[in-house]
Structure 1
Amino acid sequence: MRADRLVSLVLLLRQRGRMTADELAGELEVSARTVLRDIDSLSTAGVPVYADRGRHGGFSLLPGFRTELTGLNHEEALALLTAGSGRGEQVFGLSTALASAMRKVVDALPEGHRSNLDEASMRFLVEPETDLLSRREASEEVAGAVMAQVRRAVLTGHKLRFLYAAPDKEPRWHTVDPIGLVTVRGRTYLLATKSDADRTYRLSRVLEAEELSEPAERRGQVDLDRIWAERSARFLSKNHLSVLVRVNPTRQDELLKTARAVRAQEREADGWVRLEVTFEDLRHAVWALWQLDTDAEVLAPDSLRSALRDRAAALVFRYEGS
């Protein structure tokens, strides 16, 4: 880890020029004292780092100290920087590693490709936290220590033991054979098997986790796309309410954000969109569709139509008359 930090320190100085110990400490997430020790180590190893004293002083590298990655063109580097921007860098707890990798990529580019690359990457924004209506994207926090243990078990192929808090149940310990990690709409899931049975766990509900030394029982090759699709289909077929609804296209996105899944979609002659969507249960469906007011019409099931009608009638009765 220290070797990576030393490399990152050199790259920061290469790309930004003079930086103070406090600025370097903030970027590397260490103390200023650690930065000073690292500077001494680099100097001892022959890296041309020098200090400027005074109010506007700091540390710098002698010009020309660099390596180049000639096989990467400008557009390829821009694609990497764009992919690493925004909330995507937080996925699976790899933000620090990604920031370090991006510094190495930029530093290794030939001078001609590196010109204006930072400015170009600022012109693209990937998945901001809010949309045009100022609605924040729902996301779940996963403890860093938990993510580190889960990620390590997935990559090393070891069994994983963790304390899981399922809804409305007391937390319980589980020991599983991890398969992989999937992130969807700000939520991260662990795909695993337990006693040869498929299991899917939401990582935000994991309170503690421990990678075990025992090898996991799993195949060498894995197709996460296929596995996720199969588990999603099974999940949606159990204990979920299927709803057929017409919606004004201007409110379609609102409906899709509250629905658990979309099974079918087609545009009707009047411009409205007919959708077959699933909700967790009747209560969830009533809540979601009530938000759309008269811009949505439930066609089926009758139980949902009745529930919405009864709620509307109760509201009319409440406000009828003076």
Structure 2
Amino acid sequence: MKSSRLVSILLLLQTRGRMTAARLAEELEVSVRTVYRDMEALVAAGVPLYGDAGHAGGYRLLDGYRTRLTGLTGQEAEALFLAGVPGPAAELGLGAVLAAAQLKVRAALPDALRPHADRVAGRFHLDAPGWYADADDTPFLPAVADAVWNGRVLHVLYRRWAEPTDVRRRLEPYGLVLKAGRWYVVAGPGPRTYRVDQILELDTSEEEFTRPEGFGLAAYWAAYQRDFHDRLHRAEAVVRLAPGTRLTGPQGRAVDADGRPDGDGWTRATVPVESLDRAHDDFLRLGTAVEVLEPAELRERIARTVAELAARYAPRGGNSVASGGD
């Protein structure tokens, strides 16, 4: 809607300062011509808006002009308060800041919208970590966050999986990501991804760095996850699944796309696996509901494990449980 777009233009100029028509059009996903018409409408409405020509030109608001948050809808107010996650904010050292900011935003809301914001806290609670995972110990998280915010270089002692495990690194921290309750810092050169809980020592510095032009944290993380999953499931296994057996994740999708009946109610499919070790453990959990056909190495390994289990649980002389009466 045009009215919503005009409010968006005001807020963009208010928060980012001077912006070109092309940049506004890209941000709002409209044509440059539409932006020009919107600017004329804002000027006609009395908004102190100025346009400068030239390479460094663009639109800007008169210094000191502020717009109030009266353009919010009920759903927007709810989403705004839902976006504030107190747990991660507290870990970053921003718990009190978040509470103060929410209080100020609530005070600025029109009376009719305050109930929309208030009921979010009573009906939604976001808890990011998984059920069976202990909270990571991240004592250096506030220092990393401060370096991210101020563009300062960090010198860390970092523990990795490969030998040598403990290495010293000079990091240019571009951003922080919270994934499934675990914090990661994306840092140059590279960039590369580091787990914050694996930082053993940290020294701050006054050395500043410049983020690469065009770097986007969300885009980098999406590409990183795609690459991670591609590397995670490079091997394949051919399996037969008993009727009603469901696999999850990439394996489940592979069965849905490639699975075919095997004549006796079972389903035959080629599924991705992370490694022989992981596939061995995962398929054993399914018991008799799965049969691994290929690769031969995996099938033989599972057969050896099953034989060892059968021998281990075979009845022992004099210790077997009697069945029947006296």
Q: Give the TM bin, normalised by the shorter chain.
A: 0.5 to 0.7
Question: 1:208 is aligned with what amino acid?
Answer: E
Among 181, 198, 220, the residue aligned to 2:176? 181
Q: For residues 266 and 92 of structure 1, what CA distance do their matches in structure 2 show? A: 42
Q: For residues 160 and 233 of structure 1, what CA distance do their matches in structure 2 show? A: 28
Moved over 6 A (4+): 246-250, 270-273
Measured at CA, do residues 274 and 98 of structure 1 come closer, stay the same or move farther in structure 2, by a change above 3 Å?
Answer: farther
Does residue 265 in structure 1 map to residue 279 in structure 2?
no
- Please give the residue correspondences for 1:25-44 in structure 2 after superposition, counting only pairs within 5 Å: none
Contact 1:138 1:185 in 2 (8 A): no
Contact 1:165 1:205 in 2 (8 A): yes
Q: For residues 164 and 196 of structure 2, what CA distance do their matches in structure 1 show? A: 16
Which residue is equivalent to 1:193?
188
Contact 1:242 1:277 in 2 (8 A): yes
Q: For residues 250 and 94 of structure 1, what CA distance do their matches in structure 2 show? A: 46
Among 153, 163, 166, the residue aligned to 1:171? 166
Which residue is equivalent to 2:207?
214
Among 139, 150, 154, the residue aligned to 2:148? 154
Which residue is equivalent to 1:103?
103
Measured at CA, do residues 176 and 79 of structure 1 come closer, stay the same or move farther in structure 2, by a change above 3 Å?
Answer: same
Give how far 1:311 is off: 0.9
Q: For residues 275 and 87 of structure 1, what CA distance do their matches in structure 2 show? A: 41
Question: 1:309 is aligned with what amino acid?
Answer: A
SS state at 1:98 partner: helix
- Over aligned residues, Cα RMSD in angstroms? 3.8
Contact 1:265 1:274 in 2 (8 A): yes
Measured at CA, do residues 173 and 232 of structure 1 come closer, stay the same or move farther in structure 2, by a change above 3 Å?
Answer: same
Question: 1:210 is aligned with what amino acid?
Answer: D
| Matched length | 240
- Please give the residue correspondences for 1:114-133 in structure 2 after superposition, counting only pairs within 5 Å: 114-115=114-115, 117-127=117-127
Contact 1:86 1:125 in 2 (8 A): no
SS state at 2:254 partner: strand
Question: 2:216 is aligned with what amino acid?
Answer: D
Among 300, 304, 310, the residue aligned to 1:310? 304
Give how far 1:102 is off: 2.3
Measured at CA, do residues 247 and 225 of structure 1 come closer, stay the same or move farther in structure 2, by a change above 3 Å?
Answer: farther
Does residue 286 in structure 1 map to residue 280 in structure 2?
yes
Percent of aligned pairs with the same amino acid = 30
Measured at CA, do residues 297 and 119 of structure 1 come closer, stay the same or move farther in structure 2, by a change above 3 Å?
Answer: farther
Give how far 1:160 is off: 1.5
Q: For residues 83 and 188 of structure 2, what CA distance do their matches in structure 1 show? A: 31
SS state at 1:172 partner: strand
Question: 1:188 is aligned with what amino acid?
Answer: W
Q: For residues 92 and 292 of structure 1, what CA distance do their matches in structure 2 show? A: 41
Give how far 1:315 is off: 0.6
Measured at CA, do residues 305 and 219 of structure 1 come closer, stay the same or move farther in structure 2, by a change above 3 Å?
Answer: same
Measured at CA, do residues 129 and 189 of structure 1 come closer, stay the same or move farther in structure 2, by a change above 3 Å?
Answer: closer
Measured at CA, do residues 119 and 154 of structure 1 come closer, stay the same or move farther in structure 2, by a change above 3 Å?
Answer: closer
Which residue is equivalent to 1:18?
none
Q: Please report the TM-score for the alignment, with normalisation by the length of structure 2.
A: 0.59
Question: 2:203 is aligned with what amino acid?
Answer: E
Structure 2: segments with no counterpart, 5+ residues: 1-67, 317-326
Q: Deviations over 1:59-117 (max 9, x none)?
A: xxxxxxxxx84333322121122233575656755444333322222232222221364
Q: For residues 224 and 273 of structure 1, what CA distance do their matches in structure 2 show? A: 41
Question: 1:223 is aligned with what amino acid?
Answer: G
Give how far 1:164 is off: 0.9
Contact 2:135 2:181 in 1 (8 A): yes
Q: For residues 209 and 192 of structure 1, what CA distance do their matches in structure 2 show? A: 14
Contact 1:263 1:275 in 2 (8 A): no
Structure 1: segments with no counterpart, 5+ residues: 1-67, 131-135
Give how far 1:230 is off: 4.2
Q: Please report the TM-score for the alignment, with normalisation by the length of structure 1.
A: 0.59
